[in-house]
Chains A and B, each alone.
Chain A
Amino acid sequence: MSAEISDRVREIAQARDVPESKVFEQALERGLETLWEDIVLSQYFEGTLDREQAVEQVGRSKVERAEREREVVEQDVDWGLNA
């Protein structure tokens, strides 16, 4: 896995013509962004953050997408437990 990561970092650095350190920096930023969005959406679903605050922090489209996914998961779990 670590060899695969090294190979990918090297390939991305070459493709974008940036140092490998820059690739790690961007990967960290993207990863943190995803983890942050998960936290915000979890807080919204748990009721500790209201919808407008969630929209402000991660954007309307991500909140709407997560709401749709939640609806789908609820329907699926209900079905699976009762089918």
Chain B
Amino acid sequence: MSLVAVADAGPIIHLAEIESLALLAEVDQLYLPEVVYDELEVGGLPDGLDSIEYELVTTTMTCIEDEELDPGEASALAVSKERDAVLLTDDLAAREVAAQTGVEVHGSIGVIALGHSRGRLDRDEAASLMRTLQRETSLFVTDAVVRRGIELLDERGRTT
């Protein structure tokens, strides 16, 4: 089954910060809302964005309004709902709103696990990227949680 996803700015920025944007190539069809692209442009387009394939899209749905969401997150959520795609975001509030609206949602750690399961990263590379994501990026996640993620990679990687 092909993997269709829509990204907001968070995973693009965080994966670029650990020089791993290429992992998004494991998504079969990646959509980037124009609002998100504009947000990225303001801070300077991340290196490596031009090396992955994505389609710039606008949403025809009424934008999902929620005071917890910024325009990029709201637009990405609307596109995900419209196209029955996975939403990629690292924002906890956006994840919660997405879950409430029935949209499947994951983040940068999931993209690293995806890279591992599809053979792009071995176990050590995936674990190292998870640690780097926690230590060197603006993604807020505690060290203890990342260590739990690496344990799961080992536990569940053995059974998949």
Interface set of A (CB-CB < 8 Å, partner B): 37-38, 41-42, 44-45, 65-66, 68-70, 72-83
Shortest distance in angstroms between A43's beta carbon and chain B's nearest beta carbon? 8
In addition to A73-B149, A77-B113, 12 A-B residue pairs with Cβ atoms within 8 Å of each other are A45-B145, A74-B148, A77-B110, A77-B152, A78-B152, A79-B113, A80-B114, A80-B116, A81-B113, A81-B114, A83-B3, A83-B114
B residues touching A (Cβ–Cβ < 8 Å)?
3, 86, 92, 95, 104, 106-107, 109-117, 141-149, 152-153, 156-157, 160
Secondary structure call for the A interface: helix
Q: Is B142 within 8 A of A80, CB to CB?
A: no
CA A42 to CA B153, docked complex, whole Å: 17
Q: Are A73 and B148 in contact (CB under 8 A)?
A: yes
Complex Cα–Cα for A25 and B3 (A): 50
A37 cross-chain contacts in B, Cβ below 8 A: 142
